[in-house]
C-alpha cells in the first residue's frame, strides 16, 4: 500500500489540520506497549505520537507486523521523536517499535474513507433543542417547532462532498453545511469551525406530532359556515319563526343541534 501522509515534528502537543480533521493521541509506554495499540480514524485525521524518547514507530507490512519483524516498507512513515502524523489515504497502517517489537510493542491504525464514514454514521435522528432532523440515505427531513402544538417540515434529498452536506430540492441546489467531529452520538454542523451547532443523537416518532398545515386545515373545517335545516319547539313541532323568550332547537346541515332562546 502506498502511504499518503504528512509528518510534522512539533513541540506542542495538540493541533487540528483541515476543516473535518480530528486529533488522536498514541502514547509509547515504558511498559513496552503503544496505547492504544489499535486505532480507527478518518482520512485527514491527525495522530500524535508521544513519549518516543527511547522508542520509535516504523511502518511495516502486515506480514512483518504479524511476525514481529522490523523491516520497514518503502515510503512508509518512520517516527523517532514526538511528532504529528496526518493520514490522508484510507487503509490499514501497521507499525512497530523496532527495539521492542519482540516484546509486543506494535500497533495499527485503520484509516476510514470520510465520505463512507459520514454516510454510515450520519443516517439517523438528531436534535438541536426545538429542531429535529431525520436523515436517511435518500432524504433529509427537518422538523422545526416555531409553534408549540405543531411542526413545520422541510424535506430535501442530499449528497455529500467530503465533509459537506449538500441539500437538493427539485433537482436544484438548496443549501449546504459542513460536518465536524462526527461520532455515533453527536456532530457539529456549520459553515465554519467558528460557527457551529451541536446536534446530538435522539429517537422520535414524527407520526406522534402534528404538522402545522394539518392544524390549519382542521381549524378551517371547524369554522366553516353551516346552514339551518329546520327548527323545533319543545313539543317537537317545526316552526318557521321562533317566538321571543321560548326555547327552540336548531338543527344544522353538519348534524349539530343548538338550543336557543330568542330575545329581540
Strand partners, 85: 7, 47
- Amino acid 162: pLDDT: 77
Residues of the domain holding 52: 5-112
Do residue 31 and residue 108 come from a single domain? yes
* Average pLDDT over every residue of 140-161: 90
Question: Does residue 137 have a pLDDT over 70?
Answer: yes
Q: Final residue of a domain: which of 112, 132, 147?
A: 112
Do residue 129 and residue 165 come from a single domain? yes
Do residue 41 and residue 133 come from a single domain? no
Do residue 143 and residue 104 come from a single domain? no
Question: Does residue 9 have a pLDDT over 80?
Answer: no
pLDDT digits (tens, 9 = 90+) for 217-230: 655 555 455 678 88
Residue 221 is assigned to a structural domain of this protein:
no
Do residue 52 and residue 93 come from a single domain? yes
Strand partners, 167: 158, 175
* Average pLDDT over every residue of 56-73: 97
Q: What is the dihedral of CA 122, 128, 130, 132, to 10 degrees?
A: 0
Do residue 21 and residue 107 come from a single domain? yes
Residue 262's pLDDT band (cuts 50, 70, 90): low
Residues 79 and 87: beta-carbon distance below 8 Å:
no
Residue 18's pLDDT band (cuts 50, 70, 90): very low
Q: Which of 124-133, 231-240, 242-251 has the lowest mean pLDDT?
A: 242-251
Residue 222 is assigned to a structural domain of this protein:
no
Residues 40 and 117: beta-carbon distance below 8 Å:
no
Among 35-39, 143-147, 167-171, 187-191, which range has the highest average pLDDT?
A: 35-39
pLDDT digits (tens, 9 = 90+) for 195-216: 899 999 999 999 889 998 876 6
Strand partners, 109: 39, 93
Strand 150-161 to 140-147 pairing: antiparallel
pTM here is 0.56
Residue 147 is assigned to a structural domain of this protein:
yes
Residue 13 is assigned to a structural domain of this protein:
yes
Q: How many domains, in total, are found in the chain?
A: 3
Question: Does residue 49 have a pLDDT over 50?
Answer: yes
- What percentage of the chain reaches a pLDDT higher than 70? 86
Residue 73 is assigned to a structural domain of this protein:
yes
Question: Does residue 44 have a pLDDT over 50?
Answer: yes
Among 99-108, 152-161, 186-195, 224-233, which range has the highest average pLDDT?
A: 99-108
CA-to-CA separations, 56 to 51, 65, 85, 203, 242, in angstroms, rounded: 9, 15, 13, 45, 103
Do residue 192 and residue 209 come from a single domain? yes
Do residue 101 and residue 197 come from a single domain? no
Report the alpha-carbon distance of residue 264 to residue 46 in Å, rounded.
86
For position 81, which CATH number holds?
Answer: 2.60.40.420
Strand 23-28 to 46-50 pairing: parallel
Residues 30 and 189: beta-carbon distance below 8 Å:
no
Amino acid at each position: 500500500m502506498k502511504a499518503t501522509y504528512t509528518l510534522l515534528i512539533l513541540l506542542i502537543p495538540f493541533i487540528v489540520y483541515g476543516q473535518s480533521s480530528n486529533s488522536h493521541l498514541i502514547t509509547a509506554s515504558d511498559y513496552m506497549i503503544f496505547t492504544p495499540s489499535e486505532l480507527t480514524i478518518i482520512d485527514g485525521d491527525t495522530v500524535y505520537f508521544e513519549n518516543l524518547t527511547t522508542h520509535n514507530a516504523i511502518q511495516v507490512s502486515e506480514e512483518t507486523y504479524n511476525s514481529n519483524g522490523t523491516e520497514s516498507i518503502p515510503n512508509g512513515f518512520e517516527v523517532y521523536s514526538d511528532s504529528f502524523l496526518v493520514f490522508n489515504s484510507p487503509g490499514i497502517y501497521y507499525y512497530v517499535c523496532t527495539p521492542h517489537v519482540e516484546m509486543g510493542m506494535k500497533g495499527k491504525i485503520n484509516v476510514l474513507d470520510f465520505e463512507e464514514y459520514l454516510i454510515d454514521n450520519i443516517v439517523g435522528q438528531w436534535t438541536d433543542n426545538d429542531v429535529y432532523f431525520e436523515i436517511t440515505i435518500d432524504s433529509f427531513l427537518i422538523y422545526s417547532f416555531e409553534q408549540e402544538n405543531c411542526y413545520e417540515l422541510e424535506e430535501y434529498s442530499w449528497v455529500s462532498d467530503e465533509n459537506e452536506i449538500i441539500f437538493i430540492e427539485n433537482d436544484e441546489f438548496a443549501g449546504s453545511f459542513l460536518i465536524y467531529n462526527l461520532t455515533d452520538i453527536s456532530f457539529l454542523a456549520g459553515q465554519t469551525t467558528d460557527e457551529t451547532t451541536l446536534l446530538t443523537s435522539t429517537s422520535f416518532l414524527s407520526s406522534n406530532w402534528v404538522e402545522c398545515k394539518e392544524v390549519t386545515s382542521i381549524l378551517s373545517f371547524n369554522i366553516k359556515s353551516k346552514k339551518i335545516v329546520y327548527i323545533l319547539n319543545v313539543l317537537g313541532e317545526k316552526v318557521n319563526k321562533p317566538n321571543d323568550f321560548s326555547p327552540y332547537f336548531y338543527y344544522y346541515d353538519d348534524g349539530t343541534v343548538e338550543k336557543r332562546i330568542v330575545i329581540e
